[in-house]
Amino acid sequence: MDFFKIHLKEIIIVCITIVLFISCCIYIYYSATYDSSKVAEEISPSIVQPSSEEIYVDIKGEINSPGVYKIKSSLILQELIDIAGGLTSTADTSSLNLASPVIGGTMIFIPSISESSETTPSSTSSKISINYSNLDKLQELPGIGMTKAQSIISYRTDNGPFKSLEELQNVPGIGSSTYEKLKEYICL
Protein backbone atom coordinates (compact mmCIF):
# COMPACT_ATOMS: atom_id res chain seq x y z
CA MET A 1 0.00 0.00 0.00
CA ASP A 2 2.89 2.31 0.73
CA PHE A 3 4.18 1.68 -2.79
CA PHE A 4 1.05 3.18 -4.34
CA LYS A 5 1.08 6.20 -2.03
CA ILE A 6 4.74 6.86 -2.70
CA HIS A 7 4.50 6.44 -6.49
CA LEU A 8 0.98 7.85 -7.04
CA LYS A 9 2.19 10.76 -9.18
CA GLU A 10 4.28 8.46 -11.40
CA ILE A 11 1.40 6.00 -11.79
CA ILE A 12 -0.98 8.83 -12.85
CA ILE A 13 1.58 10.18 -15.33
CA VAL A 14 2.09 6.69 -16.82
CA CYS A 15 -1.69 6.13 -17.12
CA ILE A 16 -2.20 9.52 -18.81
CA THR A 17 0.69 8.77 -21.19
CA ILE A 18 -0.84 5.38 -22.10
CA VAL A 19 -4.27 6.95 -22.71
CA LEU A 20 -2.72 9.68 -24.91
CA PHE A 21 -0.69 7.10 -26.84
CA ILE A 22 -3.76 4.92 -27.49
CA SER A 23 -5.79 8.01 -28.53
CA CYS A 24 -3.10 9.07 -30.98
CA CYS A 25 -2.93 5.56 -32.47
CA ILE A 26 -6.71 5.46 -32.94
CA TYR A 27 -6.69 8.93 -34.53
CA ILE A 28 -3.91 8.02 -36.95
CA TYR A 29 -5.59 4.73 -37.88
CA TYR A 30 -8.98 6.32 -38.64
CA SER A 31 -7.58 9.33 -40.47
CA ALA A 32 -5.56 7.03 -42.74
CA THR A 33 -8.55 4.80 -43.60
CA TYR A 34 -11.19 7.52 -43.70
CA ASP A 35 -12.19 8.61 -47.23
CA SER A 36 -13.88 12.00 -47.02
CA SER A 37 -15.14 11.82 -50.62
CA LYS A 38 -17.29 8.81 -49.74
CA VAL A 39 -18.81 10.71 -46.84
CA ALA A 40 -19.62 13.62 -49.14
CA GLU A 41 -21.39 11.23 -51.50
CA GLU A 42 -23.31 9.65 -48.62
CA ILE A 43 -24.33 12.98 -47.14
CA SER A 44 -25.44 14.68 -50.33
CA PRO A 45 -26.36 12.14 -53.02
CA SER A 46 -28.69 14.69 -54.64
CA ILE A 47 -25.77 16.87 -55.78
CA VAL A 48 -25.29 16.24 -59.48
CA GLN A 49 -21.85 16.81 -60.89
CA PRO A 50 -21.98 18.79 -64.13
CA SER A 51 -21.13 16.81 -67.21
CA SER A 52 -17.64 17.38 -68.51
CA GLU A 53 -18.39 15.56 -71.75
CA GLU A 54 -17.48 17.56 -74.82
CA ILE A 55 -19.71 17.86 -77.88
CA TYR A 56 -19.48 19.41 -81.34
CA VAL A 57 -21.96 22.05 -82.48
CA ASP A 58 -22.20 23.94 -85.78
CA ILE A 59 -23.37 27.55 -85.42
CA LYS A 60 -24.18 29.63 -88.51
CA GLY A 61 -25.94 32.75 -89.60
CA GLU A 62 -25.64 36.10 -87.89
CA ILE A 63 -22.71 35.17 -85.66
CA ASN A 64 -19.31 36.89 -85.69
CA SER A 65 -17.30 33.65 -85.97
CA PRO A 66 -19.52 30.92 -87.44
CA GLY A 67 -18.21 27.38 -87.48
CA VAL A 68 -17.99 24.08 -85.67
CA TYR A 69 -17.12 24.35 -81.99
CA LYS A 70 -16.06 21.73 -79.44
CA ILE A 71 -17.76 22.72 -76.17
CA LYS A 72 -18.84 21.27 -72.83
CA SER A 73 -22.20 19.53 -73.04
CA SER A 74 -23.52 21.60 -70.13
CA LEU A 75 -23.43 24.92 -72.04
CA ILE A 76 -26.51 26.90 -73.02
CA LEU A 77 -27.07 28.69 -76.32
CA GLN A 78 -26.05 32.12 -74.96
CA GLU A 79 -22.68 30.73 -73.83
CA LEU A 80 -22.09 29.18 -77.27
CA ILE A 81 -22.89 32.53 -78.90
CA ASP A 82 -20.35 34.22 -76.62
CA ILE A 83 -17.68 31.61 -77.50
CA ALA A 84 -18.41 32.17 -81.19
CA GLY A 85 -17.64 35.87 -80.91
CA GLY A 86 -21.13 37.15 -80.26
CA LEU A 87 -23.92 38.19 -82.57
CA THR A 88 -23.72 40.50 -85.56
CA SER A 89 -25.61 43.78 -85.42
CA THR A 90 -28.34 42.37 -87.68
CA ALA A 91 -28.98 39.19 -85.65
CA ASP A 92 -32.52 38.45 -84.48
CA THR A 93 -32.76 36.17 -81.44
CA SER A 94 -36.42 36.83 -80.71
CA SER A 95 -37.34 33.33 -81.89
CA LEU A 96 -34.56 31.62 -79.93
CA ASN A 97 -34.45 30.49 -76.34
CA LEU A 98 -30.96 31.64 -75.31
CA ALA A 99 -31.18 29.67 -72.05
CA SER A 100 -31.78 26.32 -73.74
CA PRO A 101 -29.07 23.65 -73.52
CA VAL A 102 -26.94 23.07 -76.59
CA ILE A 103 -27.26 19.61 -78.14
CA GLY A 104 -24.26 17.85 -79.60
CA GLY A 105 -24.22 17.24 -83.33
CA THR A 106 -26.75 19.93 -84.15
CA MET A 107 -26.60 22.95 -86.41
CA ILE A 108 -27.85 26.20 -84.92
CA PHE A 109 -28.85 28.99 -87.28
CA ILE A 110 -29.04 32.57 -86.02
CA PRO A 111 -31.34 34.45 -88.42
CA SER A 112 -30.99 38.07 -89.41
CA ILE A 113 -33.75 40.57 -88.80
CA SER A 114 -34.64 40.49 -92.51
CA GLU A 115 -34.75 36.67 -92.57
CA SER A 116 -36.98 36.58 -89.49
CA SER A 117 -39.45 38.94 -91.07
CA GLU A 118 -39.83 36.76 -94.17
CA THR A 119 -43.09 34.85 -94.27
CA THR A 120 -41.97 31.90 -96.38
CA PRO A 121 -41.83 29.02 -93.93
CA SER A 122 -40.72 26.56 -96.57
CA SER A 123 -37.32 28.23 -96.94
CA THR A 124 -34.57 26.56 -94.91
CA SER A 125 -33.53 29.74 -93.11
CA SER A 126 -36.99 30.34 -91.66
CA LYS A 127 -37.72 26.88 -90.31
CA ILE A 128 -38.72 26.97 -86.69
CA SER A 129 -36.53 25.10 -84.22
CA ILE A 130 -38.54 22.79 -81.97
CA ASN A 131 -35.57 22.70 -79.55
CA TYR A 132 -34.81 26.40 -79.27
CA SER A 133 -37.96 28.35 -80.13
CA ASN A 134 -40.00 30.12 -77.50
CA LEU A 135 -43.78 29.96 -77.03
CA ASP A 136 -44.55 32.79 -79.46
CA LYS A 137 -42.36 31.38 -82.24
CA LEU A 138 -43.87 27.88 -81.93
CA GLN A 139 -47.34 29.39 -82.32
CA GLU A 140 -46.34 30.59 -85.79
CA LEU A 141 -46.46 26.96 -86.95
CA PRO A 142 -49.65 25.99 -88.78
CA GLY A 143 -52.14 24.34 -86.43
CA ILE A 144 -50.13 25.14 -83.29
CA GLY A 145 -51.87 27.35 -80.76
CA MET A 146 -50.82 28.30 -77.28
CA THR A 147 -51.83 24.93 -75.74
CA LYS A 148 -49.86 22.79 -78.22
CA ALA A 149 -46.89 25.18 -78.13
CA GLN A 150 -46.85 24.89 -74.33
CA SER A 151 -47.08 21.09 -74.66
CA ILE A 152 -44.01 21.12 -76.94
CA ILE A 153 -42.06 23.22 -74.43
CA SER A 154 -43.21 21.04 -71.51
CA TYR A 155 -42.18 17.87 -73.35
CA ARG A 156 -38.81 19.43 -74.17
CA THR A 157 -38.33 20.47 -70.53
CA ASP A 158 -39.30 17.05 -69.13
CA ASN A 159 -37.51 14.85 -71.68
CA GLY A 160 -34.63 16.97 -72.87
CA PRO A 161 -34.17 18.32 -76.37
CA PHE A 162 -35.75 16.55 -79.33
CA LYS A 163 -33.33 14.11 -80.93
CA SER A 164 -35.31 13.80 -84.15
CA LEU A 165 -38.18 15.64 -85.80
CA GLU A 166 -40.31 12.50 -85.58
CA GLU A 167 -40.09 12.63 -81.78
CA LEU A 168 -42.50 15.58 -81.96
CA GLN A 169 -45.25 12.97 -82.40
CA ASN A 170 -44.68 11.96 -78.74
CA VAL A 171 -45.99 15.33 -77.57
CA PRO A 172 -49.59 15.07 -76.32
CA GLY A 173 -51.95 16.53 -78.92
CA ILE A 174 -49.56 16.10 -81.84
CA GLY A 175 -50.17 12.94 -83.78
CA SER A 176 -48.92 11.73 -87.13
CA SER A 177 -51.33 13.89 -89.16
CA THR A 178 -50.29 17.08 -87.35
CA TYR A 179 -46.63 16.08 -87.70
CA GLU A 180 -47.03 15.58 -91.47
CA LYS A 181 -48.41 19.14 -91.74
CA LEU A 182 -45.55 20.55 -89.65
CA LYS A 183 -42.47 18.68 -90.83
CA GLU A 184 -41.64 21.06 -93.70
CA TYR A 185 -41.72 24.05 -91.32
CA ILE A 186 -39.62 22.70 -88.44
CA CYS A 187 -36.02 21.84 -87.63
CA LEU A 188 -34.18 20.68 -84.53
- How buried is 132 (Cβ within 10 angstroms: 0-12 exposed, 13-18 middle, 19+ buried)? buried
CB proximity list for 54: less than 8 A, separation 6 or greater = 70, 71, 72, 73
* pLDDT confidence bin for 14, thresholds 50/70/90: confident
pLDDT of 35 reads 54
Average pLDDT on 140-146 reads: 88
pTM as predicted: 0.43
For residue 139, pLDDT beyond 60: yes
The pLDDT tens digits of the residues spanning 45-103 come to 444 444 568 899 899 889 999 999 999 988 999 999 999 999 999 998 887 888 888 88
pLDDT of 175 reads 87
pLDDT of 96 reads 83
